[in-house]
Amino acid sequence: DAGITQSPRHKVTETGTPVTLRCHQTENHRYMYWYRQDPGHGLRLIHYSYGVKDTDKGEVSDGYSVSRSKTEDFLLTLESATSSQTSVYFCAISRRMENTEAFFGQGTRLTVV
Amino acid sequence: DQQVKQNSPSLSVQEGRISILNCDYTNSMFDYFLWYKKYPAEGPTFLISISSIKDKNEDGRFTVFLNKSAKHLSLHIVPSQPGDSAVYFCATGGGNKLTFGTGTQLKVEL
């Protein structure tokens, strides 16, 4: 299995509070991604990174920011959590731009109350 | 607008029979196509892929077919086993990222 760890695995937070999710990899892969999974929507890309300090928006980036100061860490921040951000968040990594195969973490279940 | 569609949210198949999961996409510029499998409380895992220059790729019990003119992708599992019960996502790729479908819940019954 690819060395990819998400933390925390579960979190409950209050509306309006900032939340940071962490993705850590030991594979030295260049590309890292944050997805959210919701019923009826599948997996939707929030943000991705193609190198240290190089990030770009995905299809559902509003309300989220990311940072990547080291190859191994990719942080996802909910600036002011809302109930619509209750979801399961997955981090993924891949070696190549073609992204022919991405490896996923085990997910973070976030509940915003 | 959903660029990748899996129109069947669920599928039930008997053990030993063939499972066929379908996926349609809209962007003819996609370069490669993948299937992922997901069990509850786990992350998706890569299953099989196919590039746009091929129309079939086989790996054991799993075969992926690509019909570029119809913009249609399918995954065949034969014979189906109870351990295949999971959610299956198709994904299409181009550039730096993958675009996923909404998933199909496959249940293989004894």
Query: What CATH number should be reported for the domain holding residue B57?
Result: 2.60.40.10
- pLDDT at site A19: 97
Can you give the pLDDT at residue B1? 60
Count of domains in chain B? 1
Chain A residues in contact with B103 by the CB 8 A cut-off are 42-43
Question: Hey, what CATH topology would domain A4-112 get?
Answer: Immunoglobulin-like (2.60.40)
Structure confidence at residue A55 (pLDDT): 95
Q: Do residues B99 and B5 touch, judged by C-beta distance below 8 A?
A: no
Average pLDDT for B11-36: 93
CA-based nearest residue to A55, from A27, A37, A26, A33? A33
Nearest Cα residue in chain A from B102: A42
Residue A100 is nearest to which of B41, B45, B49, comparing CB atoms? B49
Residue A69: left (phi > 0), alpha (psi -120 to 50), or beta? alpha
Question: Domains of chain A: which residue ranges?
Answer: 4-112
Q: What is the pLDDT at residue A7? A: 97
Per-residue pLDDT reduced to its tens digit, A53-109: 999 999 899 999 999 999 999 999 999 999 999 999 999 998 876 556 789 999 999
* Residues B38-59, mean pLDDT to the nearest whole number: 94
CB contact under 8 A, A42 and B101: yes
**How many C-alpha atoms does A67 have within 13 Å on its Cβ side?**
7
The pLDDT value given to residue B69: 93
User: Mean pLDDT, to the nearest integer, of A28-50?
Assistant: 92
Q: Supply the range of the domain harboring residue B56.
A: 4-109
Which residues in chain A (28-87) have CB-CB distances under 8 A to chain B?
31, 33, 35, 40-45, 48, 50, 56, 58
Tokens 């119809």 belong to residue: B70
